[in-house]
Chain A
């Protein structure tokens, strides 16, 4: 199962480190990362693969919630089908 992770918030050191550490704990593989500063906000889109994850989707999302809290940022993980449905025919 593939998912899209989005990270939004004020830029600060350690964002990628904390998010990827959370994913590493869950054995979630990062397929692609796209990061930019938009209107002063740090935004990052990650495509990940949960095929080999060592815990269910919800538990992986909970790990990301912890990282979000520590960073003071907004992090979401959503299955990629929702984006494909809206933007791809």
Chain B
């Protein structure tokens, strides 16, 4: 029999420390839909495969008493199934309809992988992203512009700066909210369950269940008990906590996989913050002794956290994947929001932090008049960090139309709110205007 203290420690984690399963994401291959009549085939296939996803998630939630916040779908990058005469926007509409029909809250995969070059289908899909994201609510889009093996496709980087601007312009009434559904990646992973960057990679099977766990609040509470102890103790505590959280994620993933008769893919053991109090990654870093997230020492603290989360989690799951680590989405983390509002957390510091966290510059509001070339240059920097360090990096920036530095933008719900922070004013036009490709780094030559 479990002891009462063990039982209540789990209940405290769920009830007071906001431990949850952040998402059960079903990956669905759409490769069989290519050919003719693609939108209808896409709709039918998603509805058939994911018919029971939401209900199953709710059943598990009730029986195990663990909140499962999101139920989502990730599909094959749509550019891969886009026929020559097909309108990508019709596929976006089919994804939206299917997502509504099965009741998920996001569907990812309106995507293209262009790290080395761009097919005509890739280009047509990317050009349609602003309209697709303004015409739908649930569809998420991502574009992979670089990889350690291929280098950085600077033509794609340049194009994405313009696409981000256009997406903001077409969703002007919602303060550029369309950009919250658009991620530009380097080294995108094929089994990431988190939005907006989830897609079902071409190396995957027909379908897979990927589960993303969370739990910044649990880690913070555990660290509160070891105040002022050396970093070795901090790392050990984070590892043990991550192990417990991930075990729960593995249990839910296996249960969902069994009930949905869909192969288990991976558990993504990311610490994903939300804007509510007690669910902040920044507050974990501050618990380690920082006065405020963004000050000197922040990168070291985040490196320890990110590494210890992975070490603790990897033993707890039969297959760890996705992004796995600590997320730092500015508008979704109350501690980061405060630190940015006070000016401690800047874009440059965030860039440094992305060298050691699991993804990149995420949910950052910048002035609406930021030139497209500047957005591209930020993306190029971020891609460079990912490519040379053999890690995933990403950019999800929102140039808020008509707003400037110091003003606030409210996205609502899990997307949170953010102060608009400055970007460097120097022109990147000539730099980005070069185009071409930044070759793969020497450390890509491993064979």
List residues 57-89 of chain A with CB under 8 A from any CB of chain B: 57-58, 61, 76-88
Determine if A76 and B11 form an interchain contact, defined as CB atoms under 8 angstroms apart: yes
Q: CB distance A83 to B6 under 8 Å?
A: yes
Q: Is B63 an interface residue (CB 8 A)?
A: yes
Q: How large is the interface on B (under 10, 10 to 19, 20 to 34, 35 or more residues)?
A: 10 to 19
At the interface, yes or no: B227 with Cβ under 8 Å from chain A?
A: no
**Size bracket, chain A contacts:** 20 to 34
A32 within 8 A of B: yes
Q: Report yes or no: A4 in contact with B63, Cβ–Cβ below 8 A.
A: no
Nearest to B248 among chain A residues (CB) is A85
Task: Determine how close the nearest CB of chain B comes to the CB of A6; give it in whole angstroms.
Answer: 6
Residues in A with CB closer than 8 Å to B4 are 34, 36, 43, 45
Q: Least Cβ distance of A37 to chain B in Å?
A: 12
Judge whether B10 and A81 touch: CB under 8 Å.
Answer: no
Contact of B66 among A43, A57, A82, A87 (CB under 8 A): A82
A85 and B6 contact, CB distance less than 8 A: no
Q: Give Cα A84–Cα B1 distance, bound, in whole angstroms.
A: 10
**Set of chain B residues within 8 Å of A80, measured between Cβ atoms:** 2
Q: Are A77 and B65 in contact (CB under 8 A)?
A: yes
Which listed residue, B9, B63, B247, B250, touches A79 by the CB 8 Å rule?
B63
Q: Mark B237-257, 1 if CB is under 8 A from A, else 0.
A: 000000010011011000000
CA distance A58 to B65 in the complex (A): 11
User: With an 8 A cutoff between CB atoms, is B8 at the interface?
Assistant: yes
Q: How far is the CB of B208 from chain A (nearest CB, A)?
A: 21
Chain A residues near B251 (CB, 8 Å)? 81-82, 85
* A6 with B8, Cβ < 8 A, contacts A76-B65, A79-B64, A84-B2 known: yes
* A43 in complex: contacting residue of B8, B10, B63, B64, CB < 8 Å: B8
Asked if residues B248 and A61 are in contact (CB atoms below 8 Å), the reply is: no
**CB-nearest residue of chain B to A32:** B1
The answer to whether A83 touches B10 (Cβ under 8 A) is yes
A6 and B11 CA atoms in complex are apart in Å by 9
Residue of A nearest to B250 (CB): A85
Q: Are B7 and A45 in touch, CB under 8 angstroms?
A: yes
Q: Which residue of B lies closest to A82 (CB)?
A: B64
Chain B residues, CB < 8 A from A86: 6, 9-10, 244, 247-248
A21 at the B interface (CB under 8 A): no
Chain B CB within 8 A of A53 CB: no
In whole angstroms, what is the CA distance A86 to B62 when docked? 18
In the complex, per-residue mask of B242-274: 1 if CB is within 8 Å of any chain A CB, else 0: 001001101100000000000000000000000
- Chain A residues with CB under 8 Å of B62's CB are 57-58, 61
Select the residue from B2, B4, B247, B250 with max chain A CB neighbours within 10 A. B2
24 contacts between A and B (CB under 8 A): A4-B2, A6-B8, A32-B1, A36-B4, A43-B8, A45-B7, A45-B8, A47-B1, A58-B62, A76-B11, A76-B65, A78-B63, A78-B65, A78-B66, A80-B2, A82-B10, A82-B65, A82-B66, A83-B2, A84-B2, A85-B250, A86-B9, A86-B10, A86-B244
- Residues of A at the B interface (CB closer than 8 Å) are 4, 6, 32, 34, 36, 43, 45, 47, 57-58, 61, 76-88
Q: Which residues of B contact A (CB under 8 A)?
A: 1-2, 4, 6-11, 62-66, 244, 247-248, 250-251
